[in-house]
A and B are shown apart, each in its own frame.
Chain A
């Protein structure tokens, strides 16, 4: 038995909260002989262990990379502030959980970017490992810093730091780049030569190979590839979901994590096209796994992990083409095994008696629906395509089934929103409360609790709202206050997010390369965990912007013209800019767009020749 973490780490483990996050040694974690592998990949999640370990993308790629004999992929998470403090005090470099080795010993250091406010954690983790932050300061062919995930849909705020961005799904492109690295290393290539060759692989963006020129007003005037790099970088995606790699086991954590259960992905993409939803546009077209694949993967996962709960994952589970058939065949197995099925991401119109009876085995925690907006007009403008009567009918079904807790998710600050729309949220909440008392089969002797959560809308790249101005902090706070005052019943619990964090999220979501120096300065100041209220200091952030001579409102609060060159325009996610423009104009007229199964609206994703685009309608 070997201790994988160092003696120095051992000395501090009893001084920090939840030390089990920093030790490794979990069931199914992959240990290899480092002398027998020839490529080491540190998969870094820029947040705590509990959050990172719940992330499906990391589980998939961790297992897939390790399925290659010559690759050893290990996990790294951001240490919480108490641990970081002790590590810095004692000069303990950030280490990977499997081997306990510092990140400097890895060929690749890969980050998954899920949230803009984790950017400081990305850089802070490099800094904790003693790795130079700027790509140009890392001159050797080692410690190649790569990044993938949702947020690379606008990689520019991190352009100075990351060597390679993976655009789209990682299963194929990541491996191709690693193979190229091995070849280049064998031949004794320089890092520069390697990057130049990597840029030729589809789905790879090497920011150092592009020059950006700006107009006097700060907008982009030219985005120029150099050294033969492609002018447009196309996303990678997997078309055959039944044959793509899927893990047969997950690392089972020793300490409790956020989602401590097995997860089965049932499809990628979403047919809906809600205009605010970035995932819906980045992941087109919808590609499903077959029922048979799903069932067999569920069985294997539960067997190998010991989990007795499995969650079916997708952007909108009830849109699986044969959801009832799927649940029927899954529940035959899960009932036998005492496994409970959970089905997150249900649409209001997708919660039928049939589905309800299948997931009833799950402890009745509560149901969550996302009407997103309070009035029909605004729901049409954002193309949410859910009607109030459908929501009430669904709640009726749920209340009859014994549920008494319903959570409703909304957004404040959507384009075209008026105060009437904001009040509509309160009214809709009240209508759900009323529906409970109208329901004759409701749980007797118990009241109803409707939780209304309102987050603030952040316009995201590659969506029809990418040109919109984000509501100012003051406007959002006024709307929050108005909504709070519009709620008159105690049956409704109202939650909302701090407008400050959404503002900063908006800045980085649509930022450009000029923000790199802001991030550099933020790291010098010791910023980290900005997504956590206990660490986020808005005033300090504004000071940093001021010092850099950058106005954050330029990114968040400015309405862009349709013909402006946007920082992410060179990325091709398969959806045309023309389609996004048309969708934006339809939003202004509160016109809806049918979903992909009803009718093809010609977004451009049909170029991939698969998935829902070739389904018979």
Chain B
């Protein structure tokens, strides 16, 4: 019997700078070295079957990422996966759980982020105020490349959704939930880019993706 397994991991520190493709290779190498009884595709060029429900962009840290594999051995205890894989992974990518998937990847609708932003020469309070000021506008658009060429996206609703409660006078911290997944996906860096265009300043940001949710805001498991 093939058994689906969802492997949960973090992607932090220097590892936030590796691309999805590089992450994929890194994971495959670890899976192979850990000798997990993984299912191989049966095509012309068999390779371990691995999918990522919601691939993460380069430059964003993640606290709860996942990838799906299939296990061919019924007696294999999936709870040992973290201890088998972690010594084989870089310090920035660590597996913390392996579970049987409860939700299909296609039901991912939202992702929750936390970010610290700063602008050289501006205090945290000033930055927060200038972002809040944008909420008075009718729209904040930015050009985005899509399959059908460039199109304008209005990111104002997402700026309005930003919660600055965790900010203080030193750090401008925000949390926000954005559409994510197959049907609609909004990248937080794109929202920051739009803000940059309006305030004419370059924003330094550090984004952490915290979690993923379904349409009914249930945690993706």
* A residues lining the B interface (CB < 8 Å): 1, 3-5, 11, 13-14, 18-20, 22-27, 252, 254-256, 306-308, 363
Q: Check if B15 sits within 8 Å of A254, measured CB to CB.
A: yes
Q: Are A254 and B30 touching (Cβ within 8 A)?
A: no
B13 touches A3 (CB 8 A): yes
Query: Given A14-B59, A255-B22, do A25 and B91 touch, yes or no (CB 8 Å)?
Result: yes
The contact sample of 22 A-B pairs, CB cut-off 8 A, is: A5-B14, A11-B204, A13-B59, A18-B19, A19-B58, A20-B19, A20-B22, A22-B17, A25-B13, A25-B14, A25-B91, A27-B89, A252-B29, A254-B15, A254-B22, A254-B90, A255-B22, A256-B21, A256-B22, A306-B33, A306-B88, A363-B45
Indicate if B92 sits at the interface (CB-CB under 8 A): yes
- Which chain B residue lies CB-closest to A253? B22
Which of A3, A19, A307 is packed against the most chain B CB atoms within 10 Å? A19
- A566→B15 CA distance, assembly (Å): 50
Answer yes or no: B144 CB below 8 A from chain A CBs. Answer: no
Cα A306 to Cα B89 in complex, Å, equals 10
Asked if B151 is an interface residue, CB under 8 A from chain A, the answer is no
B22 touching A306, Cβ below 8 Å: no
B67 at interface by CB-CB < 8 Å: no
Complex contact B17–A19 (CB within 8 A):
yes
Q: Which residues of B contact A (CB under 8 A)?
A: 13-15, 17-19, 21-22, 25-26, 29-30, 32-33, 45, 58-59, 88-92, 189, 204
Say yes or no: B89 contacts A24, CB within 8 Å.
no
Residues of B within 8 A of A26 (CB): 90
The answer for the CA separation of A5 and B15 in the assembled complex, in Å, is: 13
Task: Report the minimal beta-carbon distance from B117 to chain A, rounded to whole angstroms.
Answer: 12
On whether A23 and B29 interact (CB within 8 A), knowing A14-B59, A255-B22, A256-B21, the answer reads: no
Complex alpha-carbon distance, A13 and B18, angstroms: 11
Q: Give the chain B neighbours of A308 by CB distance below 8 A.
A: 29, 32
Pick the 7 closest A-B CB pairs, nearest first: A23-B14, A25-B14, A306-B33, A19-B17, A306-B29, A20-B18, A20-B17
Within 8 Å CB of B204, what residues of A? 11
Chain A residues with CB below 8 A from B26, complex form: 254
**A254 to B12, alpha carbons, bound, how many Å?**
13
With A11-B204, A19-B59, A26-B90 as contacts: A254 and B29 at CB distance below 8 Å: no
In Å, the complex CA distance between A306 and B88 comes to 8
B189 contacts across to A, CB distance below 8 A = 14
Question: Which of B22, B90, B189 has the most chain A CB atoms closer than 10 A to its own CB?
Answer: B90
Point out the residues of chain A lying under 8 angstroms from B30, CB to CB: 306
Chain B: minimal CB distance from A29 (Å): 9
Which B residues are CB-close (under 8 A) to A5? 14
A14 to B196, CA, bound (A): 15
Q: Flag if B90 contacts A1 (CB, 8 Å).
A: no
- List B contacts of A256 (CB < 8 A): 21-22, 25
Chain A residues with CB below 8 A from B89, complex form: 27
Bound: A252/B29 CA distance, A? 10
Cα separation A24 to B91 with both chains bound (whole Å): 11
Residues of B within 8 A of A24 (CB): 14
Are B90 and A27 within 8 A (Cβ)?
yes
Q: Which of A4, A11, A23, A363 contacts B17 (CB 8 A)?
A: A23
Since A25-B92, A254-B18 are in contact, a sample of 15 more A-B pairs with Cβ atoms closer than 8 Å, ordered by chain A residue number, is: A1-B13, A11-B204, A19-B17, A20-B14, A20-B17, A23-B14, A25-B14, A25-B91, A27-B88, A27-B90, A254-B14, A254-B26, A254-B90, A256-B22, A306-B88
Contact A255:B59 (CB < 8 A) given known A25-B92, A306-B29: no
Chain B residues within an 8 Å CB radius of A4: 14
Does A255 lie within 8 Å of B14, measured CB to CB? no
Docked complex Cα distance between A252 and B58 (Å): 19
Distance between Cα atoms of A23 and B59 in the complex (Å): 12
Shortest C-beta distance, B172 to chain A (Å), equals: 15
Question: Whose C-beta in chain B lies nearest to the C-beta of A260?
Answer: B25
**Alpha-carbon distance A101/B116, docked complex (angstroms):** 26
Assembled-state Cα–Cα distance A22/B45 (Å): 33
CB of A25 within 8 A of CB of B90, answer yes
Chain A minimum-CB-distance residue to B45 = A363
**In whole Å, how far is A85's beta carbon from the nearest beta carbon of chain B?**
15
CA distance A308 to B189 in the complex (A): 36
Residues of B within 8 A of A254 (CB): 14-15, 17-18, 22, 26, 90
* Cross-chain contact of B18 among A11, A27, A255 (Cβ < 8 A): A255
Q: Please, how many angstroms separate the alpha-carbon atoms of A11 and B59 in the complex?
A: 11
Shortest CB-to-CB span from B41 to chain A, Å, is 15
Considering the complex, give the chain A residue whose CB is closest to the CB of B87. Answer: A27
What is the bound-complex CA distance between A4 and B13, given in angstroms?
10
- Specify which chain A residues have a CB less than 8 angstroms from the CB of B58 in the assembled complex: 19
**A22 surroundings in chain B (CB, below 8 A):** 17
Task: With CB as the reference atom, state the residue of chain B lying closest to A19.
Answer: B17
A23 vs B11: C-alpha distance when bound (angstroms): 14
Q: Which residues of B contact A363 (CB under 8 A)?
A: 45
Find chain B residues with CB under 8 A from A252 CB.
29
Q: Which residue of A lies closest to B34 (CB)?
A: A306
CB distance from A46 to the nearest CB of B (A): 23
- A432 CB to closest chain B CB (Å) equals 27
Which residues from B are CB-within-8-Å of A19? 17, 58-59
Residues of A within 8 A of B15 (CB): 25, 254
How many whole Å from A252's CB to the nearest CB in chain B?
7
Give the chain A neighbours of B19 by CB distance below 8 A.
18, 20, 255
Contact at A306–B32, with CB atoms within 8 Å? yes
Nearest-neighbor residue (CB-CB) of B29 within chain A: A306
Q: Chain A's nearest CB lies how many Å from the CB of B178?
A: 18
Provide the residues of chain B in CB contact with A25, threshold 8 Å: 13-15, 90-92
Alpha-carbon separation in the docked complex, A3 to B206 (Å)? 14
Most buried by A among B15, B18, B45, B58: B18
* C-alpha gap A363/B44 in the complex (Å): 11
Interchain nearest-CB distance for A439 vs B (Å): 23
- Determine how close the nearest CB of chain A comes to the CB of B170; give it in whole angstroms: 14
A293 to B155 alpha-carbon distance, docked (Å): 62
